[in-house]
Structure 1
Amino acid sequence: MAVVGAILAAFYLVAVAAAMVVFGEGVLPIAIVGSVVLVGFQYKVGKWSALRSVGAKDMPEGQYQYIHQMVEKHSRDMGIKKPDLKIARMGVPNAFAVGRRGAGTVVVSEELIQLLDRDELEGVVAHELAHIDNRDVVTMVLGQGIASVVAIVAQYVVLFTGDNDLADFFLAIVVGNIVQFIVMIFVLAISRYREYVADADAKRAINSGDPLARALEKIQQGNERAHDTTIDDSVNALCIFGDDHGLARLVATHPPVEKRIQRLRS
């Protein structure tokens, strides 16, 4: 985390320095304020979009009292405010958390509740609460914000150091996308690492890694059998289970399920 965080900070500082060289020192306060506004905007919109995309609704406490009780217990043990609990029909068994400590939300799919035993569901809940406790959502938004800032600066540098014609316009788009992809490789490395940390924290919270390991096995099987899902790529990155067989595992948001299970049972 320290190494990757330092690399991301270096990317940001290089981008700001490049902007100052091209546009002058007066751009520094604009760059800093713009970065803060961009990250804040991504955080607010990302949370709203994630909940809206799956049709998340408030989880009735009378119907799901045992889930509310386990969330309240583990929230108290972790020293965080009990997050809002929501339920959604996602088409697959899954769960995710958004927000920060004091203003978090945990979403659980109906399919997950139907699939898992109570101790397995408790492991999943503890995992999502660990994400909120560790400020992982904020960390990921910050990383994505840095990637966006670096890409924007790269595009403007290309435009203002060239002839500012149509060819430079398309070159700026290409360069921006390449730079953003490179930075996102490091952001995704953080994402995979934070999944391992949340697993370990959940294991500690419920005094065993086996329930969460069994839950991951069932979730993986449920996702493989599913033919229709309401989860898009942006929300998939937040979920307890994500696809690690995309373009390459290098750009996966989650580590391989097999390795997570092995760690939980070791």
Structure 2
Amino acid sequence: MTANTLRTFILLAALTGLFMAVGYLIGGTGGALIALVIAGGMNLFAYWNADKMVLRMHGAREITPDERNPALLQFASDTIGMADRAGLPYPRVYVIESDQPNAFATGRNPNNAAVAATTGLLATLNRQEVMGVMAHELAHVRHRDTLTMTVTATLAGAIGFLANFALFFGGGRDRGGFIGALALAILAPLAAGLVQMAISRAREYDADKGGAEICGDPLWLASALEKIERGARQTVNVAAERNPATAHMFIINPLNGQGADNLFSTHPATANRIARLRQLAGAAAHSPAGPWNAQGPWGDDDASNGGNRPDFGGPWG
């Protein structure tokens, strides 16, 4: 069993246990058993449908070959070409109407993966930076993080809802009464969040490294993270604020910024991620194999070749 698989089992077991705890507060032993059955059903439902739910929550629209917007068509083509370079099946590519620059990946496995970027990201980043972000999301797909991240969003949101239900309708005297209900209503969603946050941070570092390998240059992603962090702190993502349980899926926390890694952050500190990527680029530059291709595997960017845009190898271009 890989470390990633072990983390997934721990995560789902912890969230299921929290779900049962809230069920016990509401209905005792019978409530806990009912919660266990519901959690099992939710896990099964989430396996097949959570990706569709998350995409719908954020108003994502799939980009198809008959797309009339040339910029979106090129973005989808570049992303699919990047997936081909990574040895992955072609993902579905979505765009989200939001001024906040951000992106995420979802899907139960690489054969059913989807990647989504906001219009704010496409407007803020240059083409190489966008591909650095897409490479990061494709690394999540390759590492099979997307199922866990999507199911976590579903279960964490359900635990918060059930805990609030317990506050108003649960808590007989034999189970702590109103004080117990109040405590669990506060602690259950907090504990669920801590579980998802701790695992999310490790996955983000791994995806940053994997994304650098896929796109060919860690500095593409490092530059993108700087711009996304700045833009995310200045722009409200309305859909993410309505669905905070999905925050850990985004490349940068869409809800608020954190100055350092800590227990209450869904993501590593962006400065730490950028520093690691720059260290990765510097280490490769001094290795016997030679430096990273500073312009990636598809040639120079717009500024360095007289305005000619790089060909990212997509099948639609």
TM over 0.5: yes
2:96 equivalent in structure 1: 88
Match of 2:250, as an amino acid?
C
Residues 91-133 of structure 1: per-residue CA shift (max 9 Å, x gap): 2111112222222221111221122221111111111112222
Distance in 2 separating the partners of 1:67 and 1:130: 18
**Where in structure 2 are the equivalents of 1:89-168 lying within 5 Å?**
89-101=97-109, 102-143=111-152, 145=155, 162-163=173-174, 168=177
2:56 equivalent in structure 1: 52
Any conservation in 2 of the 1:76–1:82 contact (CA below 8 Å)? yes
1:261 equivalent in structure 2: 274
2:251 to 206, 215, 240: 240
SS at match of 2:114: strand
Any conservation in 1 of the 2:107–2:150 contact (CA below 8 Å)? no
* Distance change in 2, residues 1:79/1:36 (3 Å): farther
Any conservation in 1 of the 2:100–2:237 contact (CA below 8 Å)? yes
SS at match of 1:100: coil
Distance in 2 separating the partners of 1:126 and 1:106: 10
SS at match of 2:113: strand
Distance in 2 separating the partners of 1:36 and 1:60: 35
Any conservation in 2 of the 1:244–1:254 contact (CA below 8 Å)? no
Deviation at 1:138, TM superposition (A): 1.8
Residues 170-197 of structure 1: per-residue CA shift (max 9 Å, x gap): 5235225414422431221101111111
SS at match of 1:250: coil
Deviates more, 1:1-10 or 1:89-98: 1-10
2:197 to 188, 201, 218: 188
2:307 equivalent in structure 1: none
Q: TM-score, normalised by structure 1?
A: 0.76
State the percentage of identical aligned residues: 28
2:264 to 251, 257, 262: 251
* Distance change in 2, residues 1:36/1:75 (3 Å): farther
Deviates more, 1:199-208 or 1:74-83: 74-83
SS at match of 2:238: coil
Q: TM-score, normalised by structure 2?
A: 0.65
2:294 equivalent in structure 1: none
2:42 equivalent in structure 1: 38
Match of 1:106, as an amino acid?
V
Distance in 2 separating the partners of 1:239 and 1:265: 21
1:67 maps onto 2:75 in alignment = yes
Residues 217-254 of structure 1: per-residue CA shift (max 9 Å, x gap): 1112222343x4334243433211113439x9312111
Distance in 2 separating the partners of 1:109 and 1:15: 32
* Distance change in 2, residues 1:232/1:65 (3 Å): closer
